Structure 1
Amino acid sequence: MPRIGVTGHRDIPAAALPSVRSAIRAELGDATGGVEALSSLAAGADQLFARIALDCAVPLTAVIPGMDYEAHLGGDEVRASYRRLLASCVARVDLPAEPTHEDAYYAAGRWIVDHVDRLVAVWDGRPARGPGGTGDVVAYARRTGVPVTVLWSPGARRS
């Protein structure tokens, strides 16, 4: 079964959301013979991708960075969404501890890239704001030959 992973920004501008949602649905729906989705279930793109996968009856695997992940996800709403999504996953991969949170996020992104047939990137095309960000994961995928589909709305800017 083909596997599609996701990387993306935590903050997706409202102007970009409709096209990103539609594009994720198309990416997941275009896979013939079924597909499996992989996500770290972080706020923003990861949770959006995971929700759409589940809405489309696509099996979802959670890839959990090696850190106190849930405590660093954001507010109560994001953590509650994370728990709901995690409970709906068909599998969970817990990665080993890393020295920093940035290292843990990047390790999770690389793990996803190393275990998928293609990567969906909800990405504005700009460099990562910190080590292990979306731009770094996209660069890693491209270096290793994993096809990347960038989803973004032209002209949309992150805050």
Structure 2
Amino acid sequence: MRVGVTGHIHLAPETEPLVADALRSELDRISDRPVHGVTCLAAGTDQIFARTVLATGGTYEVILPALDYRDTIEPAWRDSFDELLARASSVVHTGYRSSGTAAYVAANQELLRRVERLVAVWDGEPGCHAAATDRTVDGARRRGIPTTVLWPAAARRAPRRT
């Protein structure tokens, strides 16, 4: 089964293990076999998802929004990004040279084209741009892609890291 992910980048540190547990439970619920994940490998949710997929015996592919995408990732998350990118079964580029909303929207659209299910780690709050989690969830639902929204009871977002 091909499962995509969308979700918040900035999660409070104590929320990350809660999200990992929720993702593991959801992956176990939707498939009795390891899944093939699809992710843009952003910090936060996407990287937690990739690690959870690996821990459950699955594989994942990465969709890179733009050629400069790595440079846009906060320095604290780059080593994790590099490690997880190296472990991907495949990497797809959207064709954009520079990161930005258009590239992120294109990556989300490509992700939705490749999946049978979507898992969203989302607090239910509306986003502030066209590539926000709520827009990806809405797009999946419009396409008829089964979508599960996860937000553990004690979860909270964190301010942007510097």
Q: TM-score, normalised by structure 2?
A: 0.88
Query: What is the aligned partner in structure 2 of residue 4 from structure 1?
Result: 3
- Could you tell me which runs of 5 or more consecutive residues in structure 2 were left unpaired when the two chains were aligned: none
What secondary structure does 1:5 align onto? strand
**Structure 1 CA distance for aligned equivalents of residues 21 and 45 of structure 2:** 13
1:21-60 mapped onto 2 (5 Å cutoff) = 21-30=20-29, 31-60=31-60
Query: What is the aligned partner in structure 2 of residue 140 from structure 1?
Result: 139
Deviation, 1:108, is 0.9
Runs of 4 or more, structure 1, over 6 Å off, are none
Cα-to-partner distance string for 1:14-71 (whole Å, 9 max, x where unaligned): 4543432211102222313442011111000000100111122211111111241000
| Coordinate RMSD, CA, aligned | 1.8
Check conservation: 2:137, 2:147, Cα contact below 8 A.
Answer: yes
**Structure 1 CA distance for aligned equivalents of residues 40 and 58 of structure 2:** 16
Say if 1:154 and 1:33 are closer, same or farther in 2 by CA, change over 3 A. Answer: closer
- Could you tell me which runs of 5 or more consecutive residues in structure 1 were left unpaired when the two chains were aligned: none
What secondary structure does 1:128 align onto? coil
What secondary structure does 1:96 align onto? strand
Q: TM-score, normalised by structure 1?
A: 0.89
Query: What is the aligned partner in structure 1 of residue 65 from structure 2?
Result: 65
Check conservation: 2:69, 2:98, Cα contact below 8 A.
Answer: no
Number of equivalent positions? 157
Deviation, 1:154, is 3.5
Q: Partner letter of residue 85 of structure 2?
A: L
Deviation, 1:12, is 1.6
Q: Partner letter of residue 102 of structure 2?
A: D
Check conservation: 1:40, 1:63, Cα contact below 8 A.
Answer: yes
Query: What is the aligned partner in structure 1 of residue 107 from structure 2?
Result: 108
Percent of matched pairs sharing the same residue: 38
What secondary structure does 2:107 align onto? helix
